[in-house]
Structure 1
Amino acid sequence: MTELVTPDLRWYDSWAATLAEFGADYPHGSGCPPEGLPRDRAGCAAFVADLLRYGDAAADLPEGRVHCDYFWIADGPEMIGFLALRHRLNDYLLREGGHIGYSVRPSRRREGHALRALELALPRAADLGIDAVLLTCDEDNLGSRLVIEKAGGVLEDIRVGKRRYWITTRH
């Protein structure tokens, strides 16, 4: 059963396997810096601490970054993906990134995990006072497009190669 879990070192083995499966592809929603991460346990522990800091509304963040709840998508004992819920939008996120980013490891795609994870994130967005979340996907990413539309996404427009959808968080 798909669930959102708080990043934690106890998921290290699945986390490392998930990152390895992404290979050179960037795992959206992960919080991973584009240059990658150390793949050892100590690197994971430091990464988890940084992710948790971003969720603390009182934490000072680097310029251009916003507070964000990072989750790992799990299916039972296996960590299979990432989801980021940004607390607000800056100019870049409004144009390209959106409130929510997610990715599921390649071997676990097309099983409904991305849709379920997105649905689980919407109540948390509402709790943050976000009435509608922005999600974006590349124009040619049919999988994400279908996930967003199944979750109630309404296409606003297409900018810089990104389809921009809004989903109401309160029904």
Structure 2
Amino acid sequence: MKFFKYIVIAALLFSASAQAENMIMLRVSHSFDNTMILVKEKLNDYGYKIAHIQKCDGGLTDSGYKTDFYKSIFYGKFEEMRHLTSTHPEIIPYVPLKIAIMQEKDTVVLVAINPETLSHFFPDKDLQDQFGRWESDLRAIFEEVRETKEL
């Protein structure tokens, strides 16, 4: 019976860690505005262009929620996106890529879906390679934002 109990606990822990890999998160002590500047700079450094920045806290406030700052950045490499969506139109709902940036008290949280997660839904080798490159870039961008001292 103890063995079964350990198997169940191990399965739950493995399941939770596997689920956590679906998201890439970072918490920094930079100000919200400086974090936005850093993310935009780092995206540009990696060749990405910002398609749109959406302010999200207004709609939440209108619905009665109390929020700090909350924005979403939509980004991509436009020629890459055009090519991918013309050859693989099934990925259109997933591009451009997105990063949510939220103020939580005195820290800022960055959250993005791990692009590698899409590999489970799209078995095409070219797409899987692309998802891997996006994940690598995103992790590097988050790491550079984390390592950057206050502006």
Asked whether the two chains share a fold, i.e. TM above 0.5, the reply is: no
Structure with the greater alpha carbon radius of gyration: 2
Question: If the length of structure 2 is used for normalisation, what is the TM-score?
Answer: 0.30
Question: If the length of structure 1 is used for normalisation, what is the TM-score?
Answer: 0.27
Between Structure 1 and Structure 2, the one with more helix by share is: 2
Higher relative contact order (CA 8 A, sep 6+): 2
